[in-house]
Amino acid sequence: MALQPHRTDELQHASFLIILAVVSLLMAVIVWPFAQPLLWAALAAIMFQPLYRWMLRKMGGRRNPAAIASLLVIFFAVLVPALWLGTLVVQEAVVLIAKLQEQPVDLAVAFDRVYGALPKMAQEAVDRSGWADMASVQARLQTLLSESAGMIASQAVSIGSGALNFLLAFGVGLYVMFFLLRDGERIGRTLLRTVPVERSISERLAERFLGIVRATIKGSGVVGLVQGALGGITFLIVGLDSALLFGVLMTVFALVPVIGAGAVYVPVGLWLLVTGAVWQGTFVLVVGFFVISSSDNVLRPILVGRDTGIPDWIILITTLGGISFLGFSGIVLGPLVAGLFLASWSILQEYRDEDMQAAEGDETVEPIIVDASGHALKRDGAD
């Protein structure tokens, strides 16, 4: 018995979809080793698209020279300083840990100073809690410092042995960024036309995705850099060793909601107070509370203009989950996934509401029945 034509068409269509799925999966497996460079190249191309458009106008619409000029600006103004700063931070971390190993922090003396300043009731509470045993805490701190030194040394060896992979990934990222800067808008329009989703939905998702990228990088990233710079300057003023290291740590923590830059400047300020540096500790805490923390409220509305619509607790969970899954890239990728997740469900809810409103509108419109002469007839049961 021969297959009917429509069944043959269905079989061919199903076979094509299977082939498409398999080929797409193989493509994803092949490019996965370069997933992070491709991700950062795409995000950088989105953020620096205004720079490319400005270059394009200055160069009379020549796309290749405009993309090359934009890439050179990004390389020398962003990437080279970032690599140089990362090298300095690693050096300061190694020096700080070596110094702490040679001259361990005497927690017992600091604890006795704080303990003596507490009222008697608070001293009794500390005694009952067991925190008065500083010997065990000191031993654990020394063990942690030894493990940290070993971890940094092993990471340095792995970075040195994997220098070729790093250079390859770095080169791939720059190469892809060139084409995304030049052809990003055209690639985006092609994807919107080919993705198997209703055009209006895909356009709304793309619009919200760009808004989330802008809010995450331009908002959180720039605010984090400003807070880290303010913190580094503050630490330099008070004469703190490894001020650059603590400033970079403040930048990283500023990207994490709820935790924020206070996770760095509060312990530093309190430690300075405990060790007798009264004006230094007071200065760090005052600048931290009234300048560094307030910069978020001032800069974010200027840079972003509106909220991403993502609750802080979801950003916190997805950021921490992204870090555990992808490392440093998860700081950006986690909130992006959360934003797309919420945007997709909100669009679905909007379409459901529109369908319900359309259905209710159809139900309220009662049909008018007319006779052969065109006169309206009364419905059954009507007066």
13 assigned to some structural domain: no
Q: Is 45 exposed, middle or buried (0-12, 13-18, 19+ CB in 10 A)?
A: buried
Q: Are the C-beta atoms of 319 and 331 separated by less than 8 Å?
A: yes
Same domain, 187 and 224: no
Please name the residues in contact with 344: beta carbons below 8 A apart, sequence gap of 6 or more. Answer: 205
Whether residue 215 is predicted with pLDDT greater than 80 in this model: the reply is: no
| pLDDT surpassing 80 at residue 150 | no
pLDDT at 52: 92
User: What is the token pair recorded at 67?
Assistant: 């993309």
Same domain, 353 and 233: yes
328 inside domain: yes
Strand partners, 370: 376
Distance CA 144, CA 254 (A): 24
Least confident of 67-71, 144-148, 290-294, 295-299: 144-148
Q: Tell me: do 83 and 112 sit in the same domain.
A: yes
What confidence tier does 133 reach under pLDDT thresholds 50, 70, 90? low
The position carrying tokens 């003396």 is 109
Helix (H, G, I), strand (E, B) or coil at 309: coil
Same structural domain, 145 and 230: no
31-55 confidence digits (pLDDT tens): 888 888 888 888 888 888 889 999 9
Give the domain extent around 232.
Answer: 199-357
Same domain for 126 and 209, yes or no, is: no
pLDDT score of 107 more than 60: no
CA-to-CA dists, residue 150 to 85, 86, 144, angstroms: 22, 19, 10
In this prediction, residue 115 carries a pLDDT of 58
* pLDDT greater than 80 at residue 165: no
Judgement on whether residues 188 and 87 belong to the same structural domain of the protein:
yes
- Backbone φ, ψ for residue 167 (5° rounding): -65, -40
The answer to whether 205 touches 340, Cβ cutoff 8 Å, is yes
Nearest to 150 by CA among 92, 98, 88: 98
Question: Is the CB of residue 290 less than 8 Å from the CB of residue 303?
Answer: no
Q: Are residues 122 and 256 in the same domain?
A: no
Pair 247, 314 in one domain: yes
Q: Is 306 in the same domain as 222? A: yes
The answer to whether residue 107 is domain-embedded is yes
CA distances from 116 to 78, 109, 155, 268, 278 (A): 50, 11, 42, 21, 16
Residue 381 belongs to a domain:
no
Q: How far is CA 75 from the centre of its chain?
A: 21
Q: Write b or e for each residue in 313-334: b if 16 or more Cβ atoms lie within 10 A of its Cβ, otherwise e.
A: ebbbebbbebbeebeebbbbbb
CA separation for the pair 260, 268 (Å, rounded): 14
Quickly tell me which residue has 């309190």 as its tokens: 270
Whether 308 and 207 have beta carbons less than 8 Å apart is answered as no
| Same structural domain, 94 and 217 | no
- pTM for the full model? 0.68
Render pLDDT for 259-294 as a digit per residue (tens, 0 to 9): 788 888 988 888 888 777 888 889 999 999 899 888
